[in-house]
Structure 1
Amino acid sequence: MIWLLFLALAALALAPLGLALLRPPRPQGRREADLALYQAQLAELARDHAAGRLDEAAFTAARTEVQRRLLAAPAEPAPPTNPRSAALLAAGLFLIPAGGIALYLWHGAPDVPAAPYVERAAAAARDDALLAQLRSRIESVPPQSEGARQGWLLLGNAERGRGRMDAAAEAFSRALAIRFDAGVAAELAELQIGRGEMEAAATIITEAMRQDARDPRLRFLSGLLEARAGRPQNARATWQALLADTPPEAPWRPFLERELQNLP
């Protein structure tokens, strides 16, 4: 199957070259340019006549003159086809894929795993080891200390960066349990909304807005929660109020406007 795939890709890549060999040569030269010019002039005369800018006599005389010049245009023979160039192109249709396959058989190694996958696997293993060390260090400090809180925050960001949202939400929850912070609450609420945990997200957002009711991210998440819960009117009211308080240069303003437009 892999060789059939290689042959299909080679045929696709060389298709333009084959079409160039099969297509008859187009005549090039002064006559072709003259024909295009005279045809454009005839079309322009027809438009002027239809618009009433030329009467019948003037139109007929002008058309006759253009047709006379068209017939009098010198004919030029098409440039001769170089047999040698055509032969080289035809040989290339065979030699290029044959050379590519020969080179692959000489240096290729189809059974060796892809290097990027190996590198990604090694990087993932290193990340796992680092996160395991981080967890061990968190467990070695007092559980309610600021050091533990910072460790959970670092772990939550790392897990979210790796796409492990469950582990990230757990780490942010541990950090909030040590000391509640509106910014961290917004991080956790966003993860909870993405996982469909609407009630938990609503509880976190309500508590966080008691601490900082003007925080734009919390206000946006509040509207997002309403939108995901099937209450677009509530979401629109929340986001419109946020938009009114958002400076024109705020980087999140275009995103907010787009979300408003997407509401049903």
Structure 2
Amino acid sequence: MSESNKMAGGMTGINRAILIAAFVLLAAAIGYAIWRDSAGDSASAAPEAVAAPSDQLAALEARTRKEPNSPDAWMQLGAARFDLGDFGGAATAYEKAVALSPDSAGLWSALGEARVMASDSDPMPAKALEAFDKAIALSPKDPRARYFLAVKKDVGGDHKGAIADWFALLEDTPQGAPWEADLRRTIEQVGAIHKIEVAARLAGTRPRPLTADEIPVAARAIPGPSRSDMEAASQLPKGQQDVMIQGMVDGLETKLKANPADVDRWIMLMRSRMTLGESAKAAQALKDGIAANPGAAARLKAQAQLLGVPGA
């Protein structure tokens, strides 16, 4: 019996909780997602100038028909479908992307994540594992693939092995990485569930120092929806919340149109898009930022990887 068949039907509440944590692991959006999802119909109050998700999706689908050999087009469609909860559709688009760009670890790990989330019964499908293995072969440090391969150990019963792998990922996690808090929370939860002591080790674990390219622009005073901004927005009437957040992002884009050479603002736009759960738009911001600043491509890509932008 294959490993995936052994795990079939094993989507327990514990496993689902771990996979949901993985769903937001690289999005840096858990705070926004909580209050956005509780905001009822507030999304209808967003500015009319903002395209509806269905319109944005239609535009991306049209692009793949126009540019069927563009891995970037398929990647952005996959990210958009993932953002909308269409995990099977996301996987299909990512499959097209990796066929055209098979050397991208980020695309392979994004495909693996989509395949996991598309599965209703098997917590770690064989095809998802195949994608994560390809990502690791290309980039042994890929954080998403490492996280999910540890999830495989956990759902397979090797809880200590999973925790050890998550600790190893935590040790390699750069200071300020958006997934650090969620990774720590996962370690705490799995440790508590299986009565494995992790508190002392967590207390003694510190994120590694940043490289020059990884210095977090998100921490600087550049306008954009930070967690404190989102907390403030949550105190507003529900109909005003999305308007406030969208206004911040629109302000960033306006400044970039006036000064596309401002690399920090491109990074902040990527961060803002990821915070809003708009990973396809974050990927477009990366592409546009590099086009406007080819000399800063390495820095933009490093920051995009830090933020979990698909395809970075």
> How would you bin the TM-score normalised by the shorter chain?
0.3 to 0.5
Which one scores higher on RCO, CA 8 angstroms, separation ≥ 6? 2
Q: TM-score, structure 1 length as denominator?
A: 0.47
Whose helix proportion is higher, 1 or 2?
Answer: 1
The structure that has the greater radius of gyration is: 1
